Structure 1
Amino acid sequence: MIQRIQTLYLFLAGIISGGLTFVFNLWSTPKETIFSIDLLQTASFLQKSIPVSFFLSALLSVVAIFLFKNRQLQFVIGRLNILTNLFLLGVLVYLSLTLSGEASVSEKGIGMFIPVISLVLLVFANKAIKKDEDLVKSVDRLR
């Protein structure tokens, strides 16, 4: 059902992954501020994968909301979304440690923590989906 708590978790994870990337910066230098959408114009494939991963995470969250009739597939999509966010977190940590031009001090933005918040919400959503699936299996056992 669409009014379950996992829907709220998945919706919040989708909003955070898809919407807050335009609001909060990833890092800033004295000359410029870098948002995730700005990384699409870079030459590096690794940097181009950051906004793609953010949007993929948001898309997977929204798709998982509408799979409420198929809880196993919803759970698998949630796991895939968790793996996407772990990849995104790893790439962001790698890039933050190896930023070029560190002669001028750069500040890491709050956008670096978006995958962490999304991961927590996705874990809560998968926990609620698993709880629903166990409840349905226990009721089927009684019949």
Structure 2
Amino acid sequence: MIQRIQTVFLFLIVVAMGVALANPIWEKTGPISTEIAQLTALQYSQQQSAGAQAGVPQSQVPTTVITSVWYLGLLLALVALSSLYAIFQYRNRLTQTALCAVNALMLTAIMGIVLYRTLYAGKEYGNPADQGNFLLGFYAIIAALLFNALANRFIRRDEKLVRGSDRLR
């Protein structure tokens, strides 16, 4: 039935993916307060001072380099859609388990992409010793990993309960 606890966890995955899509994931400031690097679900942007040009102070000539990371947003949306689909597969717990396994793989790929972008690609920006700040979007992805594990656990527990009751008949 749709009112089981795993449905709540699957819905929370959808909410967490919406939060990760809507909020920045990571941010790092440079030595000057106007220099900033930021990772969102769709882009990685670096705003740097270009240097003094024609008597304009350095802090007033920012250049922004934007790199598209659309695949990160696509993976976040796919996790949300597969979790939403899994909610309505309550009659087939094996399908729900398979969808949770696929979600776990996609969430692992998302974490790999985020950590690569922040810890390796972001290291070249600003102070290499500073790793930057993880923001709400990052913690939403971690929450989705936790909710996925809990949903999978409760789906397997329901399946075990149903198989145990079938043996008694």
Fold in common (TM above 0.5):
yes
Contact 1:42 1:48 in 2 (8 A): no
State the 1:32 CA deviation: 5.7
Q: Which runs of 5+ in 2 are unaligned?
A: 30-34, 45-65
Contact 1:14 1:57 in 2 (8 A): yes
State the 1:31 CA deviation: 3.9
| Alpha-carbon displacement from aligned partner over 1:85-129 (angstroms, at most 9, x marks no partner) | 011111111111122551266733322232221111001000000
Contact 1:9 1:125 in 2 (8 A): yes
**RMSD, matched Cα:** 2.0
When the two structures are superposed, what TM-score results if normalisation uses the length of structure 2? 0.73
Distance 2:131 2:78 in 1: 27
| Alpha-carbon displacement from aligned partner over 1:44-94 (angstroms, at most 9, x marks no partner) | xxx332111111111111011000011001110011001110111111111
Q: Tell me the amino acid that sits aligned with residue 13 of structure 1.
A: I
Contact 2:83 2:103 in 1 (8 A): yes
Tell me the residue number matched to 1:139. Answer: 165
Does 1:53 find its partner at 2:52? no
When the two structures are superposed, what TM-score results if normalisation uses the length of structure 1? 0.85
State the 1:133 CA deviation: 0.4
Larger Rg: 2
Tell me the residue number matched to 1:77. Answer: 99
Q: Please identify which structure carries the higher helix content.
A: 1
Distance 1:70 1:139 in 2: 16
Q: How many residues align?
A: 138
State the 1:22 CA deviation: 4.1
Distance 1:26 1:138 in 2: 44
Q: Which runs of 5+ in 1 are unaligned?
A: none
Does 1:37 find its partner at 2:42? yes
Q: Please identify which structure carries the higher strand content.
A: 2
Contact 2:10 2:151 in 1 (8 A): yes
Distance 2:113 2:37 in 1: 21
